[in-house]
């Protein structure tokens, strides 16, 4: 399998913007690894560098020191091997669901794969909405399009930055179940930033609990629970309480 990730001595310092501000160390010597096909969540207080670390994995940010390797290859820039799903839907409003998902194939001159677009629409449960425009879709449906658009490039790693943070509780729960179904089918490494500890326990194989800035990974909590997971099960609640205890710095 592909999609192994390793961080070695990752440090990120944002330089001062002017004489009135000091430089900010967001990440302090992060060392960790993620196995191919694992689902890992990054949790921690606001401003703890979770999204910064995710963007470094994606190649959208460069670390001040250290390196990220994906399958032993150093990450230096964005690539199609790394899909990214942002918190807010980033769809083109003038394109239909079909055309938003197909855009990457067209830009990369892979028109021969356009016959796969409907497979990805089905994968994310949007059959019947192929011709709909983003303004006709709910927030959850827009995020489904975002996920399909990221997956159609067949990345080795899918990175998700609080993808369900703006959704109502019912839609969020449904999307969590659907994401796990996609993860099982595609057997792809997924790394997700979330503030929701219950969501992290429900989805993850491992949870990286990060400290306030400058962030380190304080503890890695394994989640050895069979899927589907019951949120009211004693074992589930115990892991949730363990994570909350670690985060209570």
- For the stretch 222-236, pLDDT in tens is 999 999 999 999 999
Can you tell me the mean pLDDT for 130-139? 95
Q: Among 170, 171, 157, 14, which Cα is nearest to 89's?
A: 171
CA-derived radius of gyration, the chain: 18
The architecture CATH gives domain 1-56+63-71+188-248: 3-Layer(aba) Sandwich (3.40)
Cα angle 36, 40, 44 (rounded to 5 degrees) comes to 150
Q: Assess whether pLDDT exceeds 90 at residue 22.
A: no
DSSP 202: H
Q: Rounded to an integer, what distance in angstroms lies between the CA atom of residue 40 and that of residue 27?
A: 18
Percent of the chain with pLDDT over 90: 83
**Residue 20: its pLDDT value, please?**
67
17 pLDDT band, cuts 50/70/90, is confident
Q: Assess whether pLDDT exceeds 70 at residue 249.
A: no
Give 77-95 pLDDT, tens digit per residue.
999 899 999 888 789 999 9
DSSP 135: G
């Amino acid at each position: 399998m592909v999609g192994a990730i390793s961080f070695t001595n990752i440090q990120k310092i944002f330089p001062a913007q002017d004489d009135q501000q000091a430089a900010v160390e967001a990440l302090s010597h992060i060392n960790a690894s993620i196995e191919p096909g694992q689902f890992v969540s990054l949790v921690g207080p606001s401003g703890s560098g979770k999204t910064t670390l995710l963007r470094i994995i994606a190649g959208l940010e460069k670390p001040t020191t250290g390196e990220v390797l994906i399958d032993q290859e150093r990450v230096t820039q964005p690539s199609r091997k790394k899909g990214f799903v942002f918190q807010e839907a980033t769809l083109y409003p003038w394109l239909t669901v079909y055309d938003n998902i197909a855009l990457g194939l067209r830009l990369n001159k892979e028109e021969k794969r356009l016959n796969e677009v409907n497979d990805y629409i089905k994968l994310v449960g949007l059959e019947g909405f192929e011709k709909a425009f983003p303004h006709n879709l709910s927030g959850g449906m827009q995020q489904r399009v975002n996920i399909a658009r990221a997956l159609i490039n067949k990345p080795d790693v899918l990175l998700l930055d609080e993808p369900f943070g703006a959704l109502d509780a019912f839609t969020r729960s449904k999307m969590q179940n659907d994401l796990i179904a996609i993860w099982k089918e595609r057997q792809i490494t997924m790394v997700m930033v979330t503030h929701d500890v219950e969501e992290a326990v429900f989805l993850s194989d491992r949870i990286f609990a990060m400290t306030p800035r400058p962030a380190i990974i304080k503890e890695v909590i394994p989640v050895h629970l069979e899927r589907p997971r019951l949120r009211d099960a004693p074992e589930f609640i115990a892991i949730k309480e363990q994570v909350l205890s670690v985060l209570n710095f």
